[in-house]
Amino acid sequence: MNDQEQVKEKTTETQNKFQIEKQSQSPWAVPAAIIVAGILIAGAVIYGGGNSNLNANNPSNPSLAGNNNAGIEDGGNKASASLDKIAPITKEDHILGNVNAPVKIVEYSDLECPFCKRFHETMNQVMDEYGKSGKVAWVYRHFPLDSLHSKARKEAEATECANELGGNAKFWEYANRLFELTPSNNRLELSQLPEIAKYIGLNEVKFNECLSSGKYANHISEDLANAVATGGQGTPWSILIAKDGKKFPINGALPYTQVKILIDSALK
């Protein structure tokens, strides 16, 4: 066999191999993959907002949504947890946006939780799009996970002291600054708490007096107990209340695109 014939044979062999591989690949492979991806995304949305009676006894996978699950104990009453046990929204709450907004998102958060830090950014994005038009209100409540973040409870008290000294606007300013500074996972130095107060224009002496008094400890505990009663087992744990009063869980740090879908559905 001469060189020309060898080249021709190799070319034919390569073409035949390519043809076999091409025929073995199903023409439905790509469409099927697209369909499966669509089902997965739809499933996540349905889980997050399709059942107003879901008691959230199965926290979302941390690798999917981001959820600090600290093994919260509620006295063995997990089966009785219900979204309907959410404490009524009152003037005592920390509300950003229109108090009469048709959609309200009540977030139970831990200031040292890295997923809460991520979701805080998401909620700020939500308020940029829906808060300015009065469509969504953001209600912030405390859910410190003591077994993971021993500093979070004192940090929560610090935000309450900021509220006492400067009102609701300073509460949000303090929380935003704290989330901006903390590396999360209990790594913020508590010595920075009065520094944050000073940074946002609060009286540092009065702030320290408030923080050392522990006057808001019970309030933090009440928020935590309510989070557990509604089904929260990790942070962030949020409940979306639609304009018709129906409640939907947002378990974990869902990305903005998914939260947006839930909000748009709730507004309809």
Q: What is the pLDDT of residues 116-174, one digit of tens each?
A: 999 999 999 999 999 999 999 999 999 999 999 999 999 999 999 999 999 999 999 99
- The per-residue pLDDT for 75 is 44
Tell me which of 35-39, 55-59, 99-103, 121-125 is least confident: 55-59
- Range in 21-25, 155-159, 257-261 with the lowest mean pLDDT: 21-25
**219-247 residue pLDDT tens:** 999 999 999 999 999 999 999 999 999 99
Q: Tell me the domain boundaries of the chain.
A: 50-267
Contact (CB, 8 A) for 184 and 114: yes
Q: Quick check: pTM over 0.85?
A: no
Q: Considering Cα of 243, then 245, then 247, then 250, what sign does the dihedral take?
A: positive
Between 54 and 179, the higher pLDDT residue:
179
Contact of 213 with 84, CB cutoff 8 Å: no
Partner residues linked to 268 by β-bridges: none
The CATH architecture of the domain made up of 50-267 is 3-Layer(aba) Sandwich (3.40)
CA distance 153 to 105: 22
Percent pLDDT > 70 in the chain is: 71
Residue with the larger pLDDT of the pair 7 and 268: 268
The least confident of 21-25, 185-189, 244-248 is 21-25
